[in-house]
Each structure stands twice: as structure tokens, then as C-alpha cells.
Amino acid sequence: MSRRNPASPSPAPRPAATPVAHPRLEVSGLTVTFGGLTALDGVDLTVGDAETVALIGPNGAGKTTVFNAVCGLVRPAAGVVRVDGLPAPASTAGLLSRGVARTLQGLGLFAGLTVLENVLVPATSGPRRRPGDEAEDAARAVLGRLGLLAAASRPVDALPYPERKRVALARALVTGPRLLLLDEPAGGLGSEDIAGLAGVVRDVVAGGCSVLLVEHHVDFVMDVADRVVVLDFGRVVASGTPDEVRADPAVESAYLGMVAA
């Protein structure tokens, strides 16, 4: 990581998200332990309708553990996770049926399949599957939206890394999620690709989808997030709008003076 240029302009303030009766995602008192280690300690956060919330913090702070708890991959010792006011399902199929999709740090693409075939997997299976022609139309529409339509018939493992990242995002978007979980979406990308990703996130939110993202690229976070939650040692140490979090002296000292190299 390297220091942020102090002369870099701050992003323009955003209006606060409109409150809703039930947040799209509500995490309350979430505690996760692994043996004698407490990975999460009473974490609270919400994501409202058409809102982007970012989780930031150092490696090992518990960010991905929050995602895994939301997705039912780890069992909390305490606390609750609700999606649209109801307890979150404990299975991938249940989450998809409730409109929740996730990308992975490791991409999770199927080597040997084409770009289109990879995107068709979630579109033709599971609780949100579509008929064949409809699924292919939806997959091609998402690929076009992400600038990947020309690569639809190429093997996914033949693509450069930034394009494979977009294929992974397309697989999540083809399910038509109402809540999208992005795990380090800007990791390994250059400035041009990060700018394009920011545009995609804004378009997704403008269409009514909510986004919860984990990210180390602080400039990207401050550009796209409506609210930022800062984790350290499994606890929330700050939460607020980007401007509020930026102004917190402890957060500024620990995190916001640093950006990914």
C-alpha cells in the first residue's frame, strides 16, 4: 500500500439514502468465533434499498467473515442476519431465491467453458433459472452491459484478468439480484478498469439493487459508497457517510491515508 496524495480532491458529497421500513440487509450483534478466536464481535450494519455500503479495514479485520456469515457459510455464535426483514437463508439456493448474489475474491469461474457458458450457469439452474432462450438473452444482455459480448464465445481462461473479473460480475448480475455482495471487486485492476467498475456499480444501484462491498482501494470506496463501515479486530470502529468517515481522526490515521499500490 502507498500513501494517498494529499492534493487529491475529495469526491463530492452525496445525499443520504432514503430510509425504508426494512433495510435490504440488516446485520445485528453478529459474533463469529473460530475456536478461541473471536473473528467478529457484535457487528451491526445495514444496507438500504438502492444503497452502496462499503466495508473497509486491514487484512484480518473480519470483512470477508461478514460476507460468509450473511451467506450462511459460517455459523454465528450470536446475532442475526436479515434480508428484507426476514432471517437470511442458510443456503446458496435460498439466498438466490431471495435475490442475493455474490462475487468471490477467487473469481470461481469454470475453466474450459466459454464466457457465455459461464454466465449461463446461474441463469439456467437454481431457484432463479430461466427458460433456455430467455436465459441466453439475459446472459448476452449482461455481457453487452459489461463490454464482454464480443468475447462471449471465447474460453474464459483465455481472457486477461480484468475481463475475467467482469465475467464473474456478469454471473452475479444475470440472476437479477436485489442485493449484490462484492468481495474486493477492484483487486488486481488498473485505474481505467476501476473507473469502469465504478460506473457499473452506480448503474446497478440506479436500477434498484443494493450493494455491499469489501474493498481495499479507498479511493474507489469513497467514489461509490453511500456509507462506509470500518472494521478492526472484528469490531465496527467507525460508520457513516464517506465524508464523516474521512473526517474521523482515528480512521484517517489508520486507513484513509493509505491506498492500494
Query: Over the stretch 111-166, which tens digit does the pLDDT of each residue have?
Result: 989 999 999 988 877 655 666 678 899 999 999 999 999 999 999 999 999 999 99
Q: Please list the residues that pair with 238 across neighbouring strands.
A: 230
Residue 107 pLDDT? 82
Nearest Cα neighbor of 165 from 197, 202, 208 is: 197
Average confidence score pLDDT of the chain: 85
Cα distance between residue 210 and residue 260, in whole Å: 25
List Cα–Cα distances, 45 to 48, 85, 201, in angstroms: 10, 13, 20
Alpha-carbon distance 44 to 236, whole Å? Answer: 7
C-alpha cell at 213: 462491498
pLDDT for 4: 36
Cα separation, 66 vs 27, whole angstroms: 9
Structural contact between residues 195 and 171, judged by C-beta atoms closer than 8 angstroms: no
Residue spans per domain, the chain: 22-99+178-261, 112-176
* pLDDT, mean of residues 189-199: 94
Predicted local distance difference test score (pLDDT) of residue 129: 61
pTM for this model (two decimals): 0.84
For residue 126, the model assigns a pLDDT of 62
Confidence of residue 91 (pLDDT cuts 50, 70, 90): confident
Using CA atoms, how far apart are residues 247 and 73, in angstroms rounded to an integer? 35
pLDDT digits (tens, 9 = 90+) for 52-64: 999 998 888 899 8
Position 256 confidence tier, pLDDT thresholds 50, 70, 90: low
* 197, 220 contact by CB (below 8 A): yes
- Using DSSP bridges, classify how beta strands 100-102 and 179-183 pair: parallel, antiparallel or unpaired: parallel
Provide the pLDDT for residue 60: 85
Q: Are 228 and 54 in contact (CB under 8 A)?
A: yes
User: Is residue 231's pLDDT more than 80?
Assistant: yes
Task: Find the mean pLDDT for residues 12-39.
Answer: 76
- Dihedrals phi, psi of 11, to nearest 5 degrees: -65, 150
pLDDT at position 249, please?
A: 78
- CATH class in words for 22-99+178-261: alpha beta
pLDDT for 254: 59
